[in-house]
Each structure stands twice: as structure tokens, then as C-alpha cells.
Chains A and B, each alone.
Chain A
Amino acid sequence: MDPRTDVTRLLADWRAGDRTAAERLLPAVYEQLRREAARQMARERADHTLQPTGLVHEAWLDLARESRHDWNDRAHFLAVAGLAMRRVLVDHAQRRAALKRGANARKVGLDALEAAEPVPEPETDWIALDAALERLAALDPRKARVVELRFFAGIEHAEIARVLEVSERTVERDWRLARAWLRAALETEGAGGTQ
């Protein structure tokens, strides 16, 4: 099925009160974001660098363009987008980790190295972050959602507040504690040494 129509239908279900729709929405939004990322990479206009916020926003507009929509769906879409972006990035990190292991086995040509894009420094350990976030979600799901929306979808506090239907002050507090908690958790982890 075309992921777009799927997203539209699922959003409608969600609005109608089906809370499991969010989980079911995920694969469709995931595909949508991947497409959008590819499209934006292809364009990379002067005034337009690839930014998570822009990406999520464009993905939404794209969806809106293709379907009859209600602008209130945006909040619902964003709620899923954070989760979807998290999957996009963590999947990618896992694939890369696998590639690296494979690449060590054989020599990589000089050309390939030169063509490679600079690796972001310092490199984010998406996999460890994902695991930590999972544990935070077990303790306090809302704080994990705030992190997801802020880190992965690049959404501002005010909008996160609308999406989660809480006050902006609550989002600020959630963010502060979640940030401290994740940092403490990742540090402990780093000392233990994951790949």
C-alpha cells in the first residue's frame, strides 16, 4: 500500500481514539521520512541544509499535499515522527556498525575513502543512546517522549507541549531531568565500554 494513504488513514483512526494507531503508524511514517531525506539530499538547496526539523516538517507537508487533511493532524504526525526519526537513525547506526566490522576484513580502496563524507566528530553512539532511552521510557514514558521529539525530530518545547498535551513548563522540567538522567546513564555505560 502507498505509505501516504496509510498514514492518512491511521492518523484518522488515531484522532478517532484508537491509541494503538501510533505504533501502527510507525512503519509508514518511517518510509515517508526516508523518502523525504533522500529528496532533500538530492536537492540540497542554497538556503536549505538537511535539518531534522525541516525534514519532519517537509515530510508532513508532503503528506498534506497528497491527501485531504486537517491541520490539527500535524500534532499527531509529529508525535509519531519523533519515534520514526529515532528508528531511522538507530537503524542506520546499526548498519554502519555492521559495515565497519565487515570493512576491517578487507582493505578499502583509496577512492572510497576520499569520496567518503567527513564523519561527525565526536561520533554519537546512537545505539547506546537508544538503549538508555528505552530504560528511561520504562521509568517515565513521557520524559522519553520529550527526548525523542527534541533530539530526533528537532521540535521546540512549545510544540512538544502541544503534542503531549501538557504545559510548556512541564516540558522544560521533563527535559532537564531526562537530560541529566541520560547523561549520567551514558557515562556509566561508557565506562563499561560498549563497542
Chain B
Amino acid sequence: MTTPWPRIEALFFELLELPPDARAERLAALRASDTELGRELAALLAADAVPEDPFALPSAATTAEALAATARELPAQPVLEPRAGLAAGSWLLEEQIGTGGMGSVWSARRIESGFEQRAAVKLVHAESSARVLARFVQERRTLSRLEHPCIARLIDGGALGDGRPYLVMELVLGAPIDRWCDAARLGVRERLALFIEVCGAVEYAHRNLVVHRDLKPANVLVEGSGRPKLLDFGIAKLLEDDDTLQVRTQEHERLLTPRYASPEQVRGEPISTASDVYSLGVMLHELLTGISPYPAETVRAPELARAICERTPTRPSASATAGANADERARRRGTTPGALARALRGDLDSIVLAAMRKEPERRYASVERLADDLRRHLDGRPVAVKGDGLGYRARKLVARHRLAFGTAAVAAGLLVAAGIAIAVSARTAQSRLADVQRLSDLRQLEDLRAAADRLWPARPTTAPALQAWLDAARVICARRPEHEDALARLRARALPYGAEAAERDRGLHARAGELDAAQTRLASMRWRLEHGRGDLRGLDERIAQLEREIVELERATAERITWDFAAPADRWEHAELVQLLAELARFDAAGTGLVAEVEARAARAVGIGRLATETHAEAWRAASAAIRDPARSPRYAGLELAPQLGLVPLGPDPDSGLWEFAELNTGRVPERGADGRLAIDSETALVLVLLPAGSVRMGCSPPGASSSPEDEDPFARPDEQPVDEVVLAPYFLSKYEMTQGQWLRFTGANPSAMLAGQRHGPHTVDLRHPVEHMAWDEADATLQKLGLVLPTEAQWEYAARAGTRTPWWTGPDRDSLADAANIADAAAMRAGVPWPGVHDWPEYDDGHVVHAPVGTYRANPLGLHDTAGNVWEWCRDEYALYALPTEAESGLRLWKGGRERCGRGGSYLEAASSSRSAHRGHAVLGAREATIGVRPARVVE
């Protein structure tokens, strides 16, 4: 190495820039004059030419692995016994909700980050083997790649002080799917619809190369909302791991639930997605029939294992009528054993048996195919698994209600082409076609429901679409008498209604229980009369009375419920017509149906335009003139405000001088009292304040850390830094948090956890209290329907600061908050609810335990109430760093990909430091908390 390094460097780059021929020439020349230099440069160029890192230099992944290994070597700590109150990271364990071979599951609560959030925490036993730990780590890895509405979500994970790992998962409050279906008395179709959702989740996992391996009703919980959630990926397997070692399979065999295990799982053979298909088949069989596909005597594991591997499973239709409690099982499905067997015979038998075939390769090739067939069955289309016979397919073709034939001739042609074996006269084809078209109404109803959900907000621009919707809906509703006639005609063809069938229907009737009870009482009275027991006075009369009641009940319960037909197509058509008529009745119900709701919405859409241009035209002219005039409204700097649809000017606030407007969809227009202040009650509408354009310095700095002392805040947290100046266009922001009354009036429901009517400490919650406990996307969707939006964090902080730079808008010290904020305080302590935030400032007393009616506390200089405390207010932004850029005008932080959204302002549950103007709360999208509400904003149009 005699050549100096800088020369080597210069020559290296010089050579790199030469074309290959010239490079070789130059290199040869160099080598001729200095052999070693030539060799060294040739080596460097060769090394440079190698595309990407095949040599052993670290990549990000290998560095990470090495780091992970280093981290694991850190010393372990003593064992911690799980108990209520133990902290797992920022989660506090509450109570044990489950336990098993591997570990325990606890409900837990997170309070640390401001929002209160509940979750399930899964811990392994302290004495767990390395293998159990490895499986636990695997579950975490598995879950981290799955994000699906029907799979319980992984929220967090970590290790206890003693190094034991834990998982924090979405807390699913629900019942196992089989129990839920029975409790809800779901019929076959509803069960299938729910099961298809479960298939969707399993299919999603498969597409992400995860096999669940332990599908069973206990691992599929259905929430109150009716959504199924898949749990427990503890023994799930990643398909790309090729370590199908015997050890794993044996271990696995001990853990899985044999009743739902596939033959290959029982035998310890390799497992694939087909194993999940099998387990789904068993589950489906049980959901449909209420019993296992293998005979009841095979309850013990060895026999069951043999049955799984050798015996042909019972067909669902046979299971429907088998066993001692067939009646009860059918009743839980809203039907009778016979009718259930008929519903299952054919498609569903074939589907279940195909999913449960012994040989994995002969089952459905994927869960998606299984679900497809179930959907086909529900739609009355031919299922794939039963590819047999043209007759079968033709039958389906006739029955298919989604079919829209162009003309009767085409229909008849198709039927003939399909080789239908029965003679079809032109006349029957004609009437059949009418039936088919009529039944497509069911699908149209579905489409209309979906469309109605999109026709928001109610504005003149959406009015024509709403009108078109109503026209279409009325056409369908007008056909109702036709459907009723068709039903009557069809029923005339029904099989005879025997005494036995009548007796069975009586049992299915809603008032069957009353009749039973009355008959029992009557028998008892007659016996007493006969044997002269007890008080006999007036017994004759009471018996006569009861007999009259029984006659009445018999008449009421004599209504025919089940109808049966000789032709399967008739049977199907009957079921469809009954459903269609029930749906139509609900759709068109006076006052409560969707048609009535859309009529009201359409009227409002038109009315709102008229309100702006006619009814409130004068008020709007005056408002625009006052706002435009710099002498009267200096803060608006000559802003030109056009009339805004759906808003009515309320004049300026006497203190802030800012103009305020009522939002007409949310209630009655409030009035100003003699002092110029608004009178708010449970009926009044949202009040939006027009905020002038301006800029806000978001965030703060710890003392001494910034060149600008104004930004200092001793409570500054890292996510509030660095201070970011954001410029905003004018916008509307609600003067108060949205109330329970306003939300209820518009959506028809009140999601709040601290619900109007509940008593907390000295106060009873009423409709003036803020609405809370809605997830971020519910808040977002509801506001969109109203033509409103969630404020951005920048808009929120601009409004909350109201020009101040101090930690609170009230001043630099928390004491300044007195009478201005509802936070954790002595009132809560007195009521026996020591909110976590109370210990910081136990002397403070705001008088309220939970939230207070909006506007109870002092307004800030912009006339806004409760920006500090009461409830957190969801913001539009994702929880992201201030270093990221913002959108012009709205100040929205430009960042996508996180799962958390921000909330601002603290709540009745938190300490004063959380209600600082700069403080940022954050929670995952789906979080619903009794402490998170909403303060709507609106774009200036």
C-alpha cells in the first residue's frame, strides 16, 4: 500500500465514470505502471459491481436479530403473581376472566395515556416451559399480522417485571356462537349468515398464512352487536414455517379440542388450511342441528378420535330429528324438527359433509369456497359442491329470486335449454316469471337500505337523490298487495293442515306459554273441585272464567305458522314471500320505517335551502353585513360570509364579539336572554361559533429548552414538542360539547355510558350532558351525516388557547382553573370514586363526579365552554409527530398509517395537567370510553 489513499479514491471514482471498454484500458495502463495499485483498484471495482449485499454485511434484519438476542440476555427478575391491581405495562389487571393450561386471561384497564380503555390481558403461568413461552411469542407474532373486524385485535404486548410476556387484546364481551344463536333463537338462514362472517375471518387469516387449528364455538364469541369475533390464536401456525416437527404436533394434540379436530390433527399429520375447513364443518353441523355429527356415545376421547378418523359423520338433516331433545333444539331455531330437517336436506347436507371429508384434499379447497357455497344456498343458486344432475340446477334456476328475466319467452327458452324435465306450458312460465320478478324486491329492499345510508347530509344538493330514492321505494311498497295475493294463492296449494301440524304450530306460537299455564291451572282447579280440597268458594266461577280465557288463547294460537308444500320450489317461494312481507312491513311502517325517515330527510333537505334563502334571509343579510364590517367585527378582517345551509345566525356573543349560529338538524334554536347570553336546555340545537382566521403555536417546551420563554410549560410532554406554528382559515366550532339530547334527536340512539337518568353523587345526568362512549369512526360518520366534521388538532388548540400561551387558557397555574373546568376532584372522592387524576389536586372541588351539563363552567375568551375538562373531544388527526407537515387551511396533520386518533381537553376523570391546551390524548380507532365525547366543527362554505 504505497499509493496514498486519496489517490486511490480519486482513481476509483474516475474509473467508475468511464464506459467499460475505456475502464479496462485505463486499468491495464495503471496496472502496467503500478501492479499493486492496479490489483487493488480491480478488487474494489469488482466488489462495487456486486449488486446487493450478498456478502456478510449486516442488513437491518440481521442487526435487529442480534439486538434482540442481546436484549434477551439482560438479567431476569423475581416472579410476580398475577392479581387484581397488578400493572402489566400501562394496564391494570382487574379480574380474572379465564384460565387454562397455558395461562390466565384478565380484564384490564388503561388509564395512563389519558383515555380510559379496557382490554383483555393474557399472561402465561410463571412456571411455563420454554415451549409454552415460545408458543406465546408465536401468538403475538401471529396476531400482529392480523387485522380484521371479526378477529380480536392485538392492542399491546410486553413483559412483566419478571420477564414473563403478556398480550393485551381487544376485550370481547360476548357469548360463544352456539349459545348466542340459541339464545337469540336464530333460524337457519340467520345462523348461516353469521357463520359466513366467521368464514370471512378464517379466510382472512389463511390469506395471511395463518391456520387457526383450534376453531370451536368457545373461540368464536358474538358481541351484543351481533358481530362474531375469532379468539385464541395460541396454537395457530404460520404456514411459512416449515417446521412441522413431530414435537409440535404432539404438543398440539394435547392442547386441541378433540371434538372439532380433523382426522389429520388426531393422527398427528401435517396440518393445513383444510384442517380449519374441517373444524368449520363440525361447527356448522352443530350450529344447524344442536348436536355433534358423531354419535352421542363417542364422548370419550379415544372413541371420539376413532370416530373422527373412521366414521362417516351424520348428515345434518338426520341430526335434526335425532336425539331425545330434537323438539327443543328445533324450537331454538324457530322451527320444528321436521321443518328443520327439510331445510337442511340437500344443499346443506352436502356442504357440511364436503367440509368434513376425511381426506383433506377432498374438502373444500378453501374456506372461501365453503362460504361461497353457503352464500349460493342462501341466494337459491346451485351450490358448487353438488355438481350433479341438470334437474337440480334447473330447479335452482327457477327458484332463484335474483334472476331478472328479460321476457317470458327468454325465460321459457332458458328453462328448456337447461333441460328441465317437467313440461312447462307458456302460461305457467309466465306466472312463474312474475313470481321471480316479484321476489327480486327482497334484493331491491336491501339495496335501498344501503343507498339510504349514503344519502347524507340533508342538503338541497342531496334532495333530488332522496326524491329518486323515495320514488323507487314507493314502487316497491305499492306492490305489497300483489305479494299478499301471491302468498294467499300459494297457500291455497299448501299440503293439508292436519291436527298434528296445528298442535305443533300452537307450540310455536308466541302465546303458547300462556295457554300451557292456563290449562295447568284449570286442571288443578278441577281436581280440587272434584276432591273438595282447599277453598272452594267461587271456584265454579273462576273455572268458567279460565275456560273463557282458554278459548280465547286457543283461538289466538290457532294461527297457522308452518306451511308445507309438495313442490320444493313452492316451499322456498313461501319462505321468501313471508320474509319479503315482513321486511316490507318494517320498511314502510308509519313513523318508524325507513321510508318515513327518508321522507323526513328529503323534506329537511329542501327546507334547509328554503330556510337560508327565505325564512332566515333577513337574518343572514344582517349577519353577513355585520361580519364584513371591520368597524363592527374587527376580528373577522372583512370576511365575506355567504348564507350557510342549515345554520341560523344568533348574533354575536356579548363577551367575545364572535358570531354564533344554531345548527338546525340538532334541535330547537336557542334564544338570547336580556343579558345577550344563550339559554341552553335539553331541546336546543348545537351552537357553532364562527372563528376568525389566525395562527396557533401548537404544543409547548419544557422550561429552559426553548429560545421562546412564552412556549414554556413545566408539564410539557415529548409528543407536545417541537412547537409548531399552524395557520388556519376561518371555521365553525361548537360552543359546547355535543349533548346527549342532540345526538339522540339526530341518530335516534344515545351511546353514552353515563346515560341521562343515572345518578352520580349529588347530580342526575340529563340530556344536557355531553354525549360520550362513541368510537372515533362513529363520531366521524354521524357528523358527516350532519354536514359537520371533527375539528383538527390545530383547530382545537387554536380555539382552546383563545390567544393565550399559558398552559391553561385560564393562566399559568392549575389554581386558575377554578370554576372553569370539570376534572378529577373532591366531589368524585366524596362519591367514593377516586378517579386516578384526583391525587394531584385533592382540594379542588368542581361539584361534579362525572360529566356536567355543557356550559356549566366559565367560557374562554372565544366564548367556548368546557375546552378544559368535562369530556375528551375526538379530533380528526391521527396521533402523529408535530414534525410532520399539515394541510393548508384546516391544519390537519398529514400522516396516515397509525391506528390511534387524538382526543383533547382531558375529562372529569383526569388531573388538571391533562386539561392543558397542549395536552394530547390518544386512543385506538375503535375505543369507546365514558370519557370521550365530541365537539363538532364545520367548514365555512
- Which residues on the A side are within 8 Å of B131 (C-beta)? 111, 114-115
- Which residues on the A side are within 8 Å of B43 (C-beta)? 184
Alpha-carbon distance between A42 and B67 when the two chains are bound, in angstroms: 13
Q: A-contacting residues of B (Cβ < 8 Å)?
A: 5, 9, 12-13, 16, 43-48, 50, 55-58, 60-74, 89, 129-131, 133-134, 140, 143-144, 154, 156-159, 163, 165, 247, 702-705, 717-718, 721-722, 899
A-B contact pairs, 12 of them (CB 8 A): A44-B157, A51-B60, A68-B702, A89-B67, A93-B66, A114-B130, A117-B68, A152-B58, A177-B13, A180-B47, A184-B47, A186-B56
* Set A120, A128, A181: member contacting B65, Cβ < 8 A: A120
Alpha-carbon distance between A37 and B70 when the two chains are bound, in angstroms: 8
* Set A92, A114, A126: member contacting B134, Cβ < 8 A: A114
A112, B69: Cβ atoms under 8 Å? Answer: no
Q: Mark A98-140, 1 if CB is under 8 A from B, else 0.
A: 0000000000000110110100101111101100000000011
| Contact A69 to B705, CB < 8 A, known contacts A111-B131, A114-B134 | yes
Alpha-carbon distance between A64 and B716 when the two chains are bound, in angstroms: 11
| Contact A179 to B48, CB < 8 A, known contacts A43-B89, A114-B131 | yes
Alpha-carbon distance between A92 and B144 when the two chains are bound, in angstroms: 28
| Contact A42 to B703, CB < 8 A, known contacts A117-B69, A129-B56 | no
| Contact A173 to B13, CB < 8 A, known contacts A68-B704, A70-B705, A114-B134 | yes
Report if A34 contacts B (CB, 8 A).
yes
Report if A97 contacts B (CB, 8 A).
no
Which residue on chain A has the smallest CB distance to residue B897? A47
- Which residues on the A side are within 8 Å of B73 (C-beta)? 92, 95
* Set B5, B65, B66: member contacting A140, Cβ < 8 A: B5
A45, B144: Cβ atoms under 8 Å? Answer: yes
B57, A183: Cβ atoms under 8 Å? Answer: yes
Report if A50 contacts B (CB, 8 A).
yes
* Set A52, A114, A181: member contacting B47, Cβ < 8 A: A181
| Contact A111 to B57, CB < 8 A, known contacts A38-B71, A139-B5 | no
Which residue on chain A has the smallest CB distance to residue B5? A139
Alpha-carbon distance between A13 and B70 when the two chains are bound, in angstroms: 30
- Which residues on the A side are within 8 Å of B718 (C-beta)? 61, 64-65
Report if A23 contacts B (CB, 8 A).
no
Which 5 A-B pairs have CB atoms at the shortest separation, nearest pair first?
A: A115-B130, A42-B159, A46-B144, A183-B47, A180-B48
Interface core residue of A91, A114, A129 (most chain B CB under 10 Å): A114
| Contact A182 to B57, CB < 8 A, known contacts A41-B72, A61-B718, A112-B130 | yes
Alpha-carbon distance between A120 and B70 when the two chains are bound, in angstroms: 14
* Set B66, B144, B154, B705: member contacting A68, Cβ < 8 A: B705
A137 to chain B, nearest CB (A): 12
- Which residues on the A side are within 8 Å of B74 (C-beta)? 34, 38
* SS class, residues of chain B in contact with chain A: helix
Number of A-B contacts (CB under 8 A): 150
Which residue on chain A has the smallest CB distance to residue B146? A46
A45, B157: Cβ atoms under 8 Å? Answer: yes
- Which residues on the B side are within 8 Å of A190 (C-beta)? 56
B60, A52: Cβ atoms under 8 Å? Answer: yes
A124, B143: Cβ atoms under 8 Å? Answer: no
B40 to chain A, nearest CB (A): 8
A3 to chain B, nearest CB (A): 15
B134, A123: Cβ atoms under 8 Å? Answer: no
Which residue on chain B has the smallest CB distance to residue A129? B57
Alpha-carbon distance between A43 and B88 when the two chains are bound, in angstroms: 11
- Which residues on the A side are within 8 Å of B64 (C-beta)? 49-52
Which residue on chain B has the smallest CB distance to residue A115? B130
Report if A187 contacts B (CB, 8 A).
yes
Alpha-carbon distance between A129 and B143 when the two chains are bound, in angstroms: 36
- Which residues on the A side are within 8 Å of B61 (C-beta)? 120
B70, A34: Cβ atoms under 8 Å? Answer: yes
- Which residues on the B side are within 8 Å of A186 (C-beta)? 55-57
B838 to chain A, nearest CB (A): 25
With A34-B74, A65-B717 known, 14 other A-B pairs at CB within 8 A are A37-B68, A43-B89, A43-B157, A49-B64, A51-B60, A89-B67, A114-B247, A117-B68, A139-B5, A151-B58, A152-B63, A179-B48, A180-B48, A183-B50
Alpha-carbon distance between A120 and B55 when the two chains are bound, in angstroms: 14
Report if A176 contacts B (CB, 8 A).
yes
Alpha-carbon distance between A115 and B247 when the two chains are bound, in angstroms: 12
Alpha-carbon distance between A51 and B67 when the two chains are bound, in angstroms: 9
| Contact A43 to B130, CB < 8 A, known contacts A117-B69, A120-B66, A183-B50 | no
- Which residues on the A side are within 8 Å of B144 (C-beta)? 45-47
Alpha-carbon distance between A124 and B69 when the two chains are bound, in angstroms: 14
- Which residues on the A side are within 8 Å of B159 (C-beta)? 41-42
- Which residues on the B side are within 8 Å of A27 (C-beta)? none
Alpha-carbon distance between A53 and B143 when the two chains are bound, in angstroms: 24
Alpha-carbon distance between A180 and B51 when the two chains are bound, in angstroms: 11
Alpha-carbon distance between A42 and B71 when the two chains are bound, in angstroms: 9
- Which residues on the A side are within 8 Å of B71 (C-beta)? 34, 37-38, 40-41, 50
Alpha-carbon distance between A179 and B57 when the two chains are bound, in angstroms: 9
Report if A55 contacts B (CB, 8 A).
yes
- Which residues on the A side are within 8 Å of B134 (C-beta)? 114-115
- Which residues on the B side are within 8 Å of A46 (C-beta)? 143-144, 154, 157
Which residue on chain A has the smallest CB distance to residue B718? A65
- Cβ < 8 Å to B, chain A residues 1-58: 34, 37-38, 40-47, 49-53, 55
